[in-house]
């Protein structure tokens, strides 16, 4: 229970001063009851211990308990503590999964290696098909006729409205619906930003924002993203990396740089969270130089051991472009992404997006709005977090047992871990992995060409394999690690 409460605590990104704290906690408790995760009669932790788990004031928890008792969700009785009230909504049915008729695509998929531990993909078998269909029924029923027409280039207001509320609650993002621009995933958003930065701002009373020619990137990242910005005509100097994360204080010395691309909450692939000083340094740089931080919050929902690290965007919504997607939390196939854009850039982003034809499917946007607004999204994320956390723990245990000298890092969050290898062994391990039919990637393929090598390693994505293949994948991985 304790560990479950620790995870439960991490469902909330709580502003430890704001009034949203108590209501956020209450929402989360209601959801836990609704979803059946807290069953009728279950005794809740004392306000003191939950307050400690969450690192918040005990009175806040006590108040939330009291209000939920008043609302009938909980009962409080002398001596028996606070419990979930007897009348409670039945647990939602499990979502569909298991054997599907094999399509050509499915048959092609089998041609892939036996075990897939490449990072970047969630567990596709867990897509909540039944809940999604419910949401799309509601969306199709409620949609006004004009929803089927050419839409607002920012995307449907219904989704932007619930997203603003969700991002504020879950990620500490300062979002207003009119500053959210929906896109078809992170890469679409990054393409748009590349265009906007490269083009420079239109003339305004306060002058004209110059064309950006350089975007600083982290020492480790995704080559595809760098290639995309390079094609947009941008140079990409790399920022050094140390145990506190990317050395953003270096930005002050990089004169040509007009923006920086960062995975602040969970560096990809190394897995660390950017140190608070470094977060502040990035924002200070942006403010003083008029630059922008492009925040790639690719798996912000999946934090296991403590409260989620809030988005950098919360520190200065006018200097940070926040980019998020449903690709890790739900599925890449939805092609649902969102940007929270500084007010000064909204018009340019919309212009780059194209006025009518890049909105993406209105029906998917309305369905996701229902899915998010109904709490189904929070339930799904919580369920997946427990599932991924279990896999992470199994990975760590297996590696410790079979390869005690191999250090596993970057495991506090996300869907992947880094296994550090003795210097010079990466290629050899990858070769034997290939022999084992194990698809896994080396750390150095994620290193920026200009960045100094730190160490060899494997980047292991533990979310992808179906349950049936998980233990086999783990065994294959252990076989290729140094004993």
Taking CB under 8 A as the rule, does residue 143 contact a second copy? yes
* In 153-185, alpha helices (H): 157-171
How far apart CA 336 and CA 135 sit, in angstroms, is 15
Part of the chain binding a second copy (CB under 8 A), chosen from 150-158, 199-207, 254-262, 398-406: 150-158
Part of the chain binding a second copy (CB under 8 A), chosen from 136-144, 267-275, 411-419, 436-444: 136-144
Name which of 57 and 412 has its Cβ closer to a second copy: 57
How far apart CA 462 and CA 72 sit, in angstroms, is 40
Q: How many residues bind a second copy, per CB under 8 A?
A: 85
Q: Which of 8, 73, 115, 127 binds a second copy (CB under 8 A)?
A: 127
CB of 82: closest distance to a second copy in angstroms?
10
CB of 96: closest distance to a second copy in angstroms?
7
Name which of 121 and 398 has its Cβ closer to a second copy: 121
Q: Which of 3, 4, 39, 165 binds a second copy (CB under 8 A)?
A: 165
Part of the chain binding a second copy (CB under 8 A), chosen from 148-156, 209-217, 255-263, 438-446: 148-156
How far apart CA 437 and CA 445 sit, in angstroms, is 19
Interface of this chain with a second copy, residues 176 to 215, rule: CB under 8 A: 176-178, 184-188, 191
Tracing tokens 């953003």 back to the chain, one arrives at: 248
Per-residue binding letters, 93-122, with a second copy (x by CB under 8 A): --xxxx-xxxxxxx--x-----------x-
How far apart CA 44 and CA 28 sit, in angstroms, is 13
Interface of this chain with a second copy, residues 224 to 283, rule: CB under 8 A: 224, 228
Given a contact cutoff of 8 angstroms between Cβ atoms, the answer to whether 372 and 324 are in contact is no
Per-residue binding letters, 293-332, with a second copy (x by CB under 8 A): --------------------------------------xx
Given a contact cutoff of 8 angstroms between Cβ atoms, the answer to whether 116 and 439 are in contact is yes
Name which of 48 and 405 has its Cβ closer to a second copy: 48
Q: Beta-carbon neighbour count of residue 268 at 10 Å?
A: 22
Part of the chain binding a second copy (CB under 8 A), chosen from 203-211, 281-289, 342-350, 403-411: 342-350
Given a contact cutoff of 8 angstroms between Cβ atoms, the answer to whether 318 and 343 are in contact is yes
Strand, helix or coil at 289?
Answer: helix
CB of 279: closest distance to a second copy in angstroms?
26
Q: Which of 93, 144, 203, 449 binds a second copy (CB under 8 A)?
A: 144
Taking CB under 8 A as the rule, does residue 90 contact a second copy? no
Interface of this chain with a second copy, residues 5 to 34, rule: CB under 8 A: 27
Q: Beta-carbon neighbour count of residue 334 at 10 Å?
A: 21
β-pairing, 180-183 with 441-442?
unpaired
Interface of this chain with a second copy, residues 43 to 82, rule: CB under 8 A: 48, 51, 57-59, 62-63, 66-67, 70, 76, 78
CB of 201: closest distance to a second copy in angstroms?
16
Name which of 6 and 121 has its Cβ closer to a second copy: 121
Given a contact cutoff of 8 angstroms between Cβ atoms, the answer to whether 246 and 218 are in contact is yes
Q: Which of 41, 210, 276, 354 binds a second copy (CB under 8 A)?
A: 354
Interface of this chain with a second copy, residues 356 to 415, rule: CB under 8 A: 356-364
Peptide bond into 279 cis (omega under 30): no
Q: Which of 233, 240, 466, 472 binds a second copy (CB under 8 A)?
A: 466
Length of the chain: 483
Rounded to a whole number, what is the distance in angstroms from the first to the last CA of the chain? 35
Given a contact cutoff of 8 angstroms between Cβ atoms, the answer to whether 248 and 291 are in contact is no
Given a contact cutoff of 8 angstroms between Cβ atoms, the answer to whether 21 and 29 are in contact is no
CB of 300: closest distance to a second copy in angstroms?
19
Name which of 78 and 205 has its Cβ closer to a second copy: 78
Name which of 188 and 279 has its Cβ closer to a second copy: 188
Given a contact cutoff of 8 angstroms between Cβ atoms, the answer to whether 278 and 245 are in contact is yes
* Structural tokens at position 74: 């909980």
How far apart CA 411 and CA 433 sit, in angstroms, is 21
Q: Beta-carbon neighbour count of residue 455 at 10 Å?
A: 14
CB of 332: closest distance to a second copy in angstroms?
5
Bridge partners of residue 418, in order along the sequence: 409, 459
């Amino acid at each position: 229970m304790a560990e479950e409460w620790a995870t439960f605590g991490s469902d909330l990104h709580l502003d430890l001063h704001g009034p949203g704290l108590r209501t956020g906690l209450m929402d989360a408790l209601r959801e836990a009851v609704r979803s059946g995760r807290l069953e009728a009669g279950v005794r809740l932790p004392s306000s003191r211990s939950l307050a400690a788990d969450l690192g918040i004031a005990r009175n806040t928890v006590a108040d939330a308990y009291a209000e939920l008792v008043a609302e009938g969700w909980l009962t409080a009785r002398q001596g028996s503590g606070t419990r979930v009230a007897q009348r409670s909504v039945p647990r939602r049915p499990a979502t569909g999964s298991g054997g599907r008729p094999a399509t050509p695509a499915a048959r092609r998929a089998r041609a892939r290696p036996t075990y897939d531990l490449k990072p970047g993909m969630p567990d596709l078998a867990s897509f909540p098909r039944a809940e999604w269909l419910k949401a799309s029924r509601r969306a199709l029923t409620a949609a006004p006729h004009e929803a089927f027409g050419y839409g607002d280039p920012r995307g449907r207001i219904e989704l932007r409205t619930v997203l603003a509320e969700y991002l504020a609650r879950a990620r500490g993002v300062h979002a207003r619906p009119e500053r959210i621009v929906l896109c078809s995933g992170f890469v679409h958003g990054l393409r748009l930003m590349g265009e906007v930065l490269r083009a420079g701002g239109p003339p305004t009373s306060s002058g004209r924002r110059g064309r950006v020619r350089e975007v600083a990137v982290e020492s480790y990242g995704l080559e595809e993203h760098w290639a995309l910005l390079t094609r947009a005509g941008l140079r990409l100097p790399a920022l050094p990396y140390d145990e506190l994360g990317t050395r953003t204080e270096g930005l002050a010395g990089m004169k040509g740089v007009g923006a920086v691309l960062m995975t602040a909450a969970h560096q990809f692939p190394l897995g660390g969270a950017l140190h608070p000083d470094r977060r502040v340094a990035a924002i200070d740089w942006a403010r003083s130089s008029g630059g922008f931080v492009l925040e790639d919050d690719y798996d912000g929902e999946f934090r296991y051991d403590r409260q989620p690290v809030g988005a950098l965007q919360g520190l200065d919504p006018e200097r940070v472009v926040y980019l998020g997607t449903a690709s890790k939390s739900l599925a890449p196939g939805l092609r649902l992404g969102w940007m929270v854009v500084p007010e000064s850039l909204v018009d340019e982003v919309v212009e780059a997006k194209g006025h009518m034809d890049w909105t993406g499917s209105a029906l998917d946007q309305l369905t996701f709005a229902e899915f998010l607004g109904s709490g189904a999204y929070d339930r799904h994320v919580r369920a997946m977090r427990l599932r991924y956390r279990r896999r992470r723990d199994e990975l760590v245990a297996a590696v410790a047992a079979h390869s005690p000298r191999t250090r596993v890092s970057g495991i506090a969050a996300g869907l992947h871990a880094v296994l550090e290898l003795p210097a010079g062994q990466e290629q050899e391990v990858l070769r034997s992995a290939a022999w084992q039919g194990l698809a896994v990637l080396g750390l150095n393929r994620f290193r920026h060409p200009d960045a100094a090598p730190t160490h060899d390693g494997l980047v292991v994505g533990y979310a992808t394999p179906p349950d049936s293949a998980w233990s086999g994948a783990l065994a294959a991985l252990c076989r290729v690690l140094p004993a």
